[in-house]
Chain A
Amino acid sequence: KNQVEQSPQSLIILEGKNCTLQCNYTVSPFSNLRWYKQDTGRGPVSLTIMTFSENTKSNGRYTATLDADTKQSSLHITASQLSDSASYICVASDRGSTLGRLYFGRGTQLTVWP
């Protein structure tokens, strides 16, 4: 069964600290791995997209890694800011159809305290 598991479910850190969010997926055949940021009451916004041939991608203070062999990904946030408080969603896509079906994790709820 294709699925995406994220950990931790929630995380609280102090402003300025770094953190790493984890994602394990079992989607096959695998196409790409995405990380989205979703603010409360808003739609998800894309942070990074990595194909199976890429193992790292950065977007400002966000760095995502991908290990296609172990089917694991991580999102590292550097020097956290209050505005980083949000849900971070890991999404894996298959290449079994023209739709490129997306499989969503439940997200990690990050809270940054001052």
Chain B
Amino acid sequence: EADIYQTPRYLVIGTGKKITLECSQTMGHDKMYWYQQDPGMELHLIHYSYGVNSTEKGDLSSESTVSRIRTEHFPLTLESARPSHTSQYLCASSDPGPNSYEQYFGPGTRLTVT
């Protein structure tokens, strides 16, 4: 079991609210990722980071933003939530060493915007 944590696990919030989804890992991994997954659909990469102060947008356009001030922490923020943001958000990190292929996923945050 990987040491990667996400909070909250479930969030129901009204339109227009600002939200931050937390992700932290205790493995010292440099690379971290955010994915978005709708039911029955594939995961889509929305943000990634190679390390502190490094952030890039992924394949799927997203109105969210991320920051990487500390190695272990990679929060995702939505300034103004909309119903179209309803989805599951998964955070992951990868090992820089010999197992660099491996990505470890957190349990996910299920976001519902009403």
Contacts and interface: CB of A to CB of B under 8 A. Distances in A.
| A, B from the same assembly | yes
Interface string B45-68: 100100000000001000000000
A69 B90 CA distance: 32
A contact patch SS: strand
A55 interface: no
B101 A49 contact: yes
Contacts of B97: none
Interface residues of B, number: 24
A106 interface: yes
A53 B104 CA distance: 23
Contact of B101 (A34, A104, A105): A34
A106 B105 contact: no
Contacts of B4: 43
A45 B105 contact: yes
A107 B42 contact: yes
Interface of A: 4, 31-32, 34, 41-46, 49, 51, 89, 93, 99-102, 104-107, 109
Closest 6 pairs between A and B when the two form their complex, measured CB to CB: A43-B105, A104-B42, A104-B43, A106-B42, A44-B105, A43-B108
